Amino acid sequence: MGFGRKTMYRLIASAGVGLLVLLGLVAPVVAECNDAQVELRGDWGRARFSVEIADDPAERAQGLMNREDLPASSGMLFIYESSQHAIFWMKNTLIPLDLIFIGETGKVTRIHENAVPLDLTNIDGGTGVVAVLEINGGLSRALGISEGSEVRHPSFDQTTAVWSCAEP
């Protein structure tokens, strides 16, 4: 019993790709870590959000102000150059938000649930904050996201991150 021509070509192609992977010329497909998404994990499971990045003073000042809605699987990731004491408010923000404060290693340090639209009260995220993820209000509780949850994003120092981009 012999191989058909198509089967033989597939075997040769598979062997060739396998050899290239072994030689390090082609990287195997792994989970991609990119600026446009944030992943979270914990005892509760995993979640992934498509994010807009706010990484300069003007973008951070604007945030999600004046928006009437936010898709359920979306958010905004505020990234700071170094760890700091983070304080937010909801001025001109029309939708309730959960604010997830994240420390240097990518661990969630504090969550403020259901921030009230248009409220000028300070929301204190504490010290040691390098990033803040804003998602729809009530979503962190619904998913089970809690303090201690781990966050993966390329903006974190990958040598000290609790969940690096190199991990699955």
* Token couple for 85: 């004491």
* Token couple for 159: 């040598």
Q: Same structural domain for residues 16 and 44?
A: no
Does 96 or 1 have the greater pLDDT score? Answer: 96
CB 76 within 8 A of CB 101: no
Q: Same structural domain for residues 4 and 83?
A: no
What is the percentage of the chain residues whose pLDDT exceeds 90? Answer: 81
Tens digit of each residue's pLDDT (9 = 90 or more) over 37-70: 999 999 999 999 999 999 999 999 999 999 999 9
* pLDDT tier, 2 (very low <50, low <70, confident <90, very high otherwise): low
| DSSP 8-state assignment for residue 107 | B
Residue 67 within a domain: yes
pLDDT of residue 161: 98
CB 85 within 8 A of CB 129: yes
CB 119 within 8 A of CB 90: yes
pLDDT of residue 56: 96
Q: Same structural domain for residues 106 and 117?
A: yes
| Domain residue limits at 147 | 31-152
DSSP states along 29-79: P-----TTEEEEEETTEEEEEEEEEE-SHHHHHHTTTT-S---TTEEEEEE
Average pLDDT over residues 98-106: 98
| DSSP 8-state assignment for residue 28 | P
pLDDT of residue 119 exceeding 50, the answer is yes
